[in-house]
Amino acid sequence: KTLTRTDMMKLILALGFVTLACATAWYTGDEIVRVKLNKTDKTVHMKLVEKNGLAATHLFQKYDATENMYGSGSDIPLTDFSDAQYFGEITIGTPPQKFTVVFDTGSSNLWVPSSKCPLTQVSCDIHSKYKADKSSTYQANGTEIDFRYGSGEVLGYLSSDTVNMGGIDVPNQGFAEVTKEPGLAFLLGKFDGILGMGFKEIAVEAVLPVWYNMIAEKAISNQVFAFWLNKGSSDGGELTIGGVDEKHYTGDFTYVPVTRKGYWQFEMDGMAVGDMSFCNGGCAAIADSGTSTIAGPVEEIAALNKKIGATGVIETQCNLLIEEYGPQAIEALVEKVDTEAFCISIGQCDESGSENGFQCSVCKTVVDTAKKLAESHQSEKIVINQIEKVCAKLPSPMGESVVDCSKLDTLPLLDIQIGGSNFTLAPQDYILQIGVGEEKECLSGFIGLDIAPPMGPLWIMGDVFMRTYYTVFDYGNNQLGFAKST
């Protein structure tokens, strides 16, 4: 099927903004906190994303500032969460004030918008805000705090109050009241804040994570939590705290030790697609519930995507532009039509001429190349052939790639070796399918990300992996466990 420009923008943005979920939590009395995760309609959120032309920069923003990752605090990067799929409800204060938060194993702080957020902060206005003066258990702190993102800083100050998660009260829990949220990611987000489930070593201002305080309060005796992420259903899954749910996995767990406290980091033995191998000799990996893809070093991901027949979304969009407008563009350029004016006329740039996401940039690149070639008086066929070569060299933002949905059943298996066991992902597991019927598009679940030493290089095993394999975060034994999801 020929993709429209609108379809391509959806694909470009899909990695950064995929389906979101809400949750209901309860305490069963069996020392296991259960948080039910329910999916919402992804297309509603994606339309908002497309309308605002947001780019898929989540992973780069999360892992870019690595130099001070295990330092004292303020430079620690946190997730953009534009692609977070699963979130749920907690309460703060007495009487309880409800908030929807992302459960993220890639960060360790809790923060929610503050009622002290200025009126100019629209993203605060459309989300639930914590009102300190309405809580009898509020305790002031006032220490200024900031969480740094690629798109700006989330600013606020520390407070403490009773936090309830899954029916369990955690008194005197430190958290951040946020007074500034930058960018459209927070404006469009279906969540109010973030509840980090990483280790205390990466907590900004050394605020003890909620999870640690639940243990200190002896609210749970088994120091584990686990994610079951459902596939293709309105039932998004379940987060259990204090134990595992046997009905959500089959077979035995493979356990591997946490190799570095901060993120939930472990050693991955290797990875292979057919006769091509990756992570040779072993490599560091992270289990990250706040990332929807599998991310790895750019060079290896590029080779992996090529192996499964995926092409960059920008290259694909570029070729579609040639197919739809190539002859028209050459004819117009021979008549000396302005590059920007032409791109506006075919809807690739907005009326002011400013860039509308990546499509405007791609259009200008194609048109400028065509202009130079047209001026050399070469034939239309030669000009289009040369432009196609330019398209092939255009990098996709963050390495996103698409595949032909009709070939899904012929794609190879991906084998991941962890702890001496093999974990297989079928094409249906690692390809993200957007839409249905003729509108269905297929996006590679692999994305390139180079993380500098000493933290990197790293492979980030997000929801593409965790949906297929039930993942246990065992704090008590300092290990991670993986078993086949049901």
Buried-exposed string 34-57: b where 16+ CB fall within 10 A, e elsewhere = bbbbbbeebeebbeebbeebbbbb
pLDDT of residue 26: 43
The answer to whether the CB of 259 falls within 8 A of the CB of 267 is: yes
The CA distance from 425 to 301, in Å, is: 16
pLDDT of residue 57: 45
The DSSP code sequence of 283-336 is: EEEEE-TT-SSEEE-HHHHHHHHHHTT-EEHHHHHHHHHHHHHHHHHHHHHHTT
The answer to whether the CB of 225 falls within 8 A of the CB of 474 is: no
| CA separation, residue 452 to residues 135, 211, 405, 429, 449 (Å) | 44, 29, 34, 28, 10
pLDDT of residue 158: 98
How far out from the chain centre does Cα 440 lie? 21
447: nearest Cα among 305, 351, 342? 305
Active site residue 125: no
3-state secondary structure of 126: coil
447: nearest Cα among 470, 469, 430, 434? 430
321: nearest Cα among 275, 273, 374, 358? 358
Model pTM above 0.95: no
* Cα radius of gyration rounded to whole Å, the chain: 24
pLDDT of residue 378: 66
Q: What is the rounded end-to-end Cα distance, in angstroms, of the chain?
A: 33
pLDDT in tens, the chain (486 residues): 333 333 333 333 333 333 333 444 444 445 687 876 655 444 333 433 333 333 344 455 566 543 444 433 323 232 334 344 567 889 999 999 999 888 889 889 999 999 999 988 888 888 999 999 999 999 999 999 988 754 457 899 999 999 998 888 999 999 999 999 876 566 767 788 889 999 999 999 999 999 999 999 988 889 999 999 887 665 677 889 999 999 999 999 999 999 999 999 999 999 999 999 999 999 999 999 878 889 999 889 989 998 998 876 666 666 666 666 666 655 655 555 677 776 776 666 776 544 445 567 767 776 777 667 666 666 767 777 776 666 655 555 445 688 888 999 999 999 999 999 999 999 999 998 877 777 678 889 998 888 888 888 999 999 899 999 999 999 999 999 999 999
Which residue(s) pair with 22 in the sheet? 38
| CA separation, residue 23 to residues 26, 39, 41, 228, 326 (Å) | 10, 9, 14, 13, 48
Q: What is the largest CA-CA distance in the chain?
A: 79
Which residue(s) pair with 23 in the sheet? 37
Q: Which of 104, 192, 269, 474 is catalytic?
A: 104
DSSP E strands, 405-478: 414-418, 421-425, 431-434, 441-444, 446-448, 459-461, 469-474
pLDDT of residue 30: 53
330 token code pair:
């050459």
Active site residue 368: no
The answer to whether the CB of 77 falls within 8 A of the CB of 109 is: no
The CA distance from 358 to 117, in Å, is: 32
Q: Which of 7, 288, 463, 474 is catalytic?
A: 288
